[in-house]
């Protein structure tokens, strides 16, 4: 194949080892039909029979199911393939048929799949067919599935969860459902099904902007607490309305094997009382070694910063902390409170702090920086005022 006349861009170092190939179609291509794209990919893959890893980027190419189905058939002919990344975001999948989802069942050798279907036309019926065919991949252990903005809704996410429960070889699941209007019931059914899958150790759920209220969030954390093997958890509930007096994270103290927690609650209207509940619950997480927390834009106050730091002191195994505040929320007083209280946490040896929102006054920032620099365990300081990122 003459690369100068096609849209294929290869990673030459990887090709020398004949184990990985990267095909990038991000650039606008003239006079190249969708069938020609598939033919180019087919020709390239046939020349590399030892391929173990493939990355194909077909972002925003107006691809429909027929072409995507042909593409999967071509990929399935790679006998040694175990790692596939396929970016089909902003295309037209699901408009006329579900043939592409059915074709995915051909990828029987795949161990790790990264499939980006964000901003297509999957819908509540399509997501069930998609999940049913992914479940037929018996060697699949790691799945990253992006279904952002696909009108999946409560019924669709329930169907997805009902299939995930039976994917017994899956140890790592990354599921992005941004802006799919799943609501409280969807959050509950999805987490309930996932918690019954006893093979999952690493879970990432991106449920931001989904009309989830505090009851749905509480159900989610309650359900996941019953997961048998969960060790690493990422939950993104950003821009869901979680204001209220319910302690929706109370179940965090009942995660028996959790080592790493990444919790994104930005713009959730928590208020100081919500952060107080969260701080109390985090203090009971005795197995945590790493915590990443985004509580920016939540109308908290300077005292909340002290509450969080005091709670983290009780996490005896915690040695890595990444935290994001809104300087517009906590003000200069909150920044002072953080620098005064974090030094009392002697377990943390890696710290990343970010202030977003309004600019921090130079005098307040320099005082904050000076106090942090006096911490004897400091090994690295990245001075990028606004946002400030500090690594210890």
pLDDT tops 90 at residue 368: no
Contact indicator for 286, 258 with CB cutoff of 8 Å: no
Q: According to the CATH classification, is domain 242-392 in 3.30.70.100?
A: no
CA 55 distance to own-chain centroid = 19
Note the pLDDT tens digit of each residue in 127-172: 999 999 999 999 999 999 999 999 999 999 999 999 999 999 999 9
Higher pLDDT, 72 or 7: 72
Three-class SS state of 221:
helix
Domains of the chain by residue range: 242-392
Confidence of residue 326 (pLDDT cuts 50, 70, 90): confident
pLDDT at residue 114 above 70? yes
Q: Which of 257, 267, 337 is nearest to 302 (CA)?
A: 337
- What mean pLDDT, rounded, does the chain reach? 87
pLDDT at residue 390 greater than cutoff 70: no
Q: With bands split at pLDDT 50, 70 and 90, how would you rate the model's confidence at 336? A: confident
With a cut of 80, say whether residue 30 has pLDDT above it. Answer: no
The tokens for 202 are 């690493």
pLDDT reading at 306 higher than 90: no
The arithmetic mean of pLDDT across residues 226-247, rounded, is 94
Instruction: Give DSSP secondary structure letters for 66-133.
Output: HHHHHHHHHHTT-TT--EEEEE--SS-TTSS--HHHHHGGG-TT-SEEEEE-TTS--HHHHHHHHHHH
Whether the CB-CB separation of 237 and 204 falls below 8 Å is answered with no
């Amino acid at each position: 194949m003459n690369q100068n006349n096609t849209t294929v861009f290869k990673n030459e170092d990887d090709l020398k080892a004949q184990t990985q190939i990267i095909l990038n179609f991000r650039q606008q291509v003239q006079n190249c039909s969708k069938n020609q794209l598939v033919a180019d990919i087919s020709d390239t893959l046939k020349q590399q029979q030892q391929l173990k890893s493939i990355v194909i980027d077909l972002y925003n190419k107006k691809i429909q199911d027929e072409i995507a189905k042909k593409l999967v058939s071509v990929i399935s002919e790679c006998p040694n393939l175990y790692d596939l990344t396929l970016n089909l975001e902003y295309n037209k999948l699901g408009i006329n048929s579900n043939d592409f989802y059915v074709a995915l069942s051909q990828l029987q050798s795949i161990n790790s799949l990264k499939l980006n279907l964000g901003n297509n036309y999957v819908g509540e019926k399509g997501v069930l067919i998609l999940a049913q065919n992914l479940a037929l991949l018996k060697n699949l252990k790691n799945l990253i599935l992006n279904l952002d903005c696909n009108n999946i809704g409560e019924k669709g996410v329930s169907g997805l969860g009902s299939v995930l429960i039976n994917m017994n070889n899956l140890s790592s699941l990354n599921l992005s459902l941004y802006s799919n209007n799943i609501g409280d019931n969807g959050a509950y059914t999805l987490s309930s099904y996932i918690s019954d899958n006893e093979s999952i150790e690493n879970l990432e759920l991106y449920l931001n902007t989904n009309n989830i209220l505090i009851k749905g969030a509480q159900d989610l954390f309650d359900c996941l607490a019953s997961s048998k093997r969960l060790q690493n958890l990422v939950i993104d509930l950003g821009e869901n309305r979680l204001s209220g007096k319910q302690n929706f994270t109370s179940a965090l103290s009942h995660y028996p094997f959790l080592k790493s927690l990444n919790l994104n609650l930005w713009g959730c209207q928590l208020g100081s009382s919500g952060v107080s509940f969260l701080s109390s619950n985090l203090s009971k997480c005795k197995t945590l070694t790493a915590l990443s927390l985004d509580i920016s834009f939540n109308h908290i106050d300077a005292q909340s910063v002290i509450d969080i730091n005091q709670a983290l002191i009780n996490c005896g195994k915690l040695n890595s902390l990444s935290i994001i505040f809104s300087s517009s929320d906590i003000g200069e007083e909150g920044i002072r409170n953080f620098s005064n209280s974090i030094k009392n946490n002697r377990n943390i040896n890696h710290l990343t702090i970010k202030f977003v929102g309004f600019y921090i006054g130079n005098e307040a920032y320099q005082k904050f920086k000076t106090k942090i620099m006096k911490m004897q365990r400091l090994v690295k300081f990245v001075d990028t005022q606004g946002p400030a990122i500090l690594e210890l």
